[in-house]
Amino acid sequence: MRTIDDLDVAGKRVLVRADLNVPLEDAPGGGRTITDDGRIRASVPTIRALRERGARVIVCAHLGRPKGEVKPEFSLAPVAARLGELLGGEVAFAADVVGDSARAVTGGLADGQVALLENLRFEPGETSKDDAERGAFADRLAGLAELYVGDGFGAVHRRHASVYDVPLRLPHAAGGLIATEVDVLRKLTEDVARPYAVVLGGSKVSDKLGVIDNLLGKADRILIGGGMVFTFLKAQGHEVGKSLLEEDQLGTVREYLRRAADTGVEFVLPVDIVAATAFAADAEHDVVAADAIPADRLGLDIGPESGKLFAARLADAATVFWNGPMGVFEMEPYSHGTRAVAQGLIDSGAFTVVGGGDSAAAVRRLGFAETGFSHISTGGGASLEYLEGKTLPGLQALED
């Protein structure tokens, strides 16, 4: 896979597919404000490197799921402003993706200047499953530039126009972010330093089926927390009360537990749970044994003894991959399990990878220094699909 070091970019229009899909909320005085700029900051090094080499940088990205319609609440305008602050200079903003504004803004760039196009997903062709419709949009997008750099790792598992079709139409290379992500993920799949521990959380078992299936042949131990743990507890015959449960996955989970026992992979489940009367920060809540959750309560975090257990099972690890919080970390009473796991990763001294998405957001929200981890991924879904062994369209296009 070529990198930007292999491209002659001076004086050329370079289309950079970045991942700027950041969370926004309504600002008190109107407009929208960014609540976590981690993905923007992760995109800066590649953009800065291209700019310093005299490229005319055209950044494109998506935000949310506007489903092919122009929706002001999903505009990238706040992102353009923040990107400019981080780069230390103005970022020109196009009010559309491939229309008159985009052509005028990109055509007016001088060497070393940067522009950001409006939300790619305002265009139906970006996400279309029809090859012709997607290809027609890709033709227009590719027409804005002379070179393409793929740097949006969080989107490489999507067969979208800007991710897959455009690099097939232009000389292309991987940006620094994607090159780093691929290098890190290879360390989780090829010649892994052992013991290799995987921590999985989040709400649904179904979101993690593929990665659990694949890791059963690779990991030494798998620690399970978050909402998905209740399907595991139910599969073992325990009462889970009103906790999140995927009944249709009970058979699959039982099979995973059987396979783990047969192959010597250690499954680590919580021994206690923080169970509440309602899904609310101010609800009555208590710590209960994991196998004795009251019928009228729902589990919202792993308990303190589970936090200690998980940290102990990480202490001797040489490699750790973590994806998914241990509880509803956004609410303080249910944040302690996630905090214990994050601290356990830091204390382990292992090669630690935080698998993007909610896990990365939790690290920042709970006040942990990002430098405490070996790598914080920008691509939750993409990271999981890579670990599942799937072919990722965005990486495939960059390798061709």
Residues acting as catalytic residues: 39, 204, 357, 381
Distance from C-alpha of 304 to C-alpha of 342, rounded to nearest angstrom: 14
Take residue 57 and report the two structure tokens written for it. 């940088």
Q: Are strands 375-376 and 24-26 parallel, antiparallel or unpaired?
A: unpaired
Distance from C-alpha of 48 to C-alpha of 175, rounded to nearest angstrom: 11
Take residue 25 and report the two structure tokens written for it. 């909320």
Distance from C-alpha of 185 to C-alpha of 321, rounded to nearest angstrom: 10
Work out the number of other CB atoms within 10 angstroms of the CB of residue 295: 8
- Would you give the distance in Å from CA 155 to the centre of its chain? 9
Q: Give the residue carrying structure tokens 């055509």.
A: 107
Q: Give the burial string for 215-232 (b: 16+ CB within 10 Å, else e).
A: bbebbbbbbbbbbbbbbb
SS3 call for 306:
helix
> Computed over its alpha carbons, how large is the radius of gyration of the chain?
22
SS3 sequence, 334-379? HCHHHHHHHHHHHHHCCEEEECCHHHHHHHHHCCCCHHHCCEECCC
Q: Give the burial string for 301-338 (b: 16+ CB within 10 Å, else e).
A: bbbeebbebbbebbeebebbbbbbbbbbbebebbbbbb
Work out the number of other CB atoms within 10 angstroms of the CB of residue 3: 15
At residue 71's C-alpha, the angle toward residues 65 and 77, to 5°, is 95
What is the residue type of 380?
A: G
Distance from C-alpha of 295 to C-alpha of 155, rounded to nearest angstrom: 40
Distance from C-alpha of 222 to C-alpha of 244, rounded to nearest angstrom: 20
**Helix, strand and coil in the chain, % to nearest 5:** 40, 15, 40
List the end-to-end C-alpha distance of the chain, in Å, as a whole number. Answer: 8
